[in-house]
Chains A and B, each alone.
Chain A
């Protein structure tokens, strides 16, 4: 079971709710993935919580846990205010914290992120920080009160899959007991399987499903890949070698005939 801030989940896929052809297709994708947590952007999807009421009740009717996010925030102050509004609108202490440092690439501002994480944790929030794969930043986020980490594996929406496997491995190695969720950069189910095989606890996706030709089928495909990756990790995958190693003994066989 996946455990996040004391809550247990059997699905290891967290799904974003933006960019689908329609809310009906989004709802079917959530079901196809047997998804238990969805992220919702207060700013971009719910118009600051003012009157996105219908969309919000549609999300509530899915019967899944909601993880509001601070997408679109570029400063600590903005992110903190947005988190506080999200707590009111969505009635949850959970917050996926995004502080954007570069408008174009949406790369996280890790300095602002650490600061905002400290403020929000102190204010009783359970923070899910969207960060890079930097080890020292990860340490600071944990010091700031985060109990889990959400590193990217490639820039948001780039669909490139894991770019720096060594950094991801190193994070996993340093924080064996901290839930690690890959957020951003996943394009295909094989990417998701790859990070799960590294021992990551879960994967957060949006574009890769929402903008697929058939989002519902793709949600199902991701769910399977994530499960397969997880099982493979638990089963202990072989480490790659430089040379071929035959799987049956060679001595005594007519290998050179």
Chain B
């Protein structure tokens, strides 16, 4: 079976993997010249289904929990299973109670336990929620490694519009173009993020700092790089980060640890999350065209489950066709 996957974001690459590992002959075409620049490239890389439940439906937990093992088995060593720490400034501890009411799978911990988990935060938070089962990965490293892995499996990649040569005979075409798909009820939710280099700060896990208006998280990456995210703005605009958003993100990082004040701003990025009205992703199919979209805040978390659903749909109809009586 020949498959064409449009879009090399997390949706396209995970689907390419599922199709190729079922033996399909896969070509991925990507409009841009490189992997960088998609919404997936801007992501935090948190695999945090229990925390996300705070503002999402139960499906995000049931489908999302599969993602940790999926990434772990495909990119061994990249999934960091150190959990998530949720904290709030002293005057916003009410937010911590609200978060706790809306979620499960955590332990409420005191000052000493916070310090034991994150020595750099010692004395800064009297109370926190620890989601021990959660994990994170570096999304850019994961996308690049997944692409390399796919190439090793025989998947062809065509980058840049000009280079696109659509194979003449394809059995299935998959649209994984994110916000560019132009599906009628798909909307963009703009997310702004910063990449900081803070040699003085060490964190072992993502920390979510609650705030009634701008909750922010900080995800540690290798070499004292930190991803600080993210705004949520109802907009398709991919223009540069605004000063206001930058101040909010930096203000939160600074509230988490004053040493972030000395950090270098390595990058200020923007991604447009594709979302449907219920903020849940969809696999849809029409003839030999299939699409995965609407991953919203949960690209790395839900793409594996969506890719599996899509692959199941494709291969079960393949089997039906193969066994159908001939006339």
**Contacting residue for B279 out of A21, A51, A207, CB 8 A:** A21
Does any Cβ of A come within 8 Å of B78's Cβ? no
> B136 at interface (Cβ–Cβ under 8 A)?
no
How far is A81 from B55 in the complex, measured between Cα atoms in Å?
33
Give the chain B neighbours of A23 by CB distance below 8 A. 187, 277-279
B235 within 8 A of A: yes
| A157 CB contacts on chain B under 8 angstroms | 212-213
B55, B235, B244: the one contacting A51 at CB < 8 Å is: B235
> With contacts A21-B55, A21-B57, A54-B188 known, is A47 near B237, CB below 8 A?
yes
Determine the distance from Cα of A58 to Cα of B186 in the docked complex, in whole angstroms. Answer: 11
The reply to whether B277 and A58 contact each other, CB–CB distance below 8 Å, is yes
- Known interface pairs A46-B234, A47-B235; A24-B278 also in contact (CB < 8 Å): yes
Least Cβ–Cβ distance between A102 and chain B, in angstroms: 13
CA distance A51 to B235 in the complex (A): 5
**A47/B190 in contact, CB under 8 A:** yes
**B22 at interface (Cβ–Cβ under 8 A)?**
no
Chain A interface, >50% SS class: loop
Question: Taking each of B56, B101, B186, B213, which has the highest tally of chain A beta carbons within 10 Å of its own beta carbon?
Answer: B213
Let me know if B56 and A54 touch, CB within 8 A. no
A44 on the B face (CB < 8 A): yes
Check B56–A47 contact: CB distance below 8 A. Answer: no
Cα(A207)–Cα(B94), bound, Å = 14
Number of interface residues of A (CB under 8 A): 22
Q: Dominant SS at the B interface? A: loop
Report which of A22, A47, A51, A72 forms a contact with B278, defined as CB distance below 8 A.
Answer: A22
The smallest C-beta distance from B121 to any residue of chain A, in angstroms, reads 22
Residues in chain B near residue A50, CB distance under 8 A: 235, 237, 239
Asked if residues B279 and A52 are in contact (CB atoms below 8 Å), the reply is: no
Nearest Cβ on chain A to B61's Cβ, whole angstroms: 14
Asked if B34 lies at the interface with its beta carbon under 8 angstroms from chain A, I say: no
A174 contacts the other chain (Cβ, under 8 Å)?
no
Known: A24-B279, A213-B101. 9 other contacts (CB 8 A): A21-B57, A21-B279, A23-B278, A25-B278, A46-B235, A50-B237, A51-B188, A52-B235, A211-B98
A residues engaging B (CB < 8 A)? 21-25, 27, 44-47, 50-55, 58, 72, 157, 207, 211, 213
CB-defined A-B contacts under 8 Å, sample of 21? A22-B275, A22-B280, A23-B278, A24-B277, A24-B279, A27-B277, A44-B233, A46-B234, A47-B233, A47-B234, A51-B188, A51-B235, A51-B236, A52-B235, A54-B185, A55-B187, A55-B234, A72-B244, A157-B213, A207-B212, A213-B101
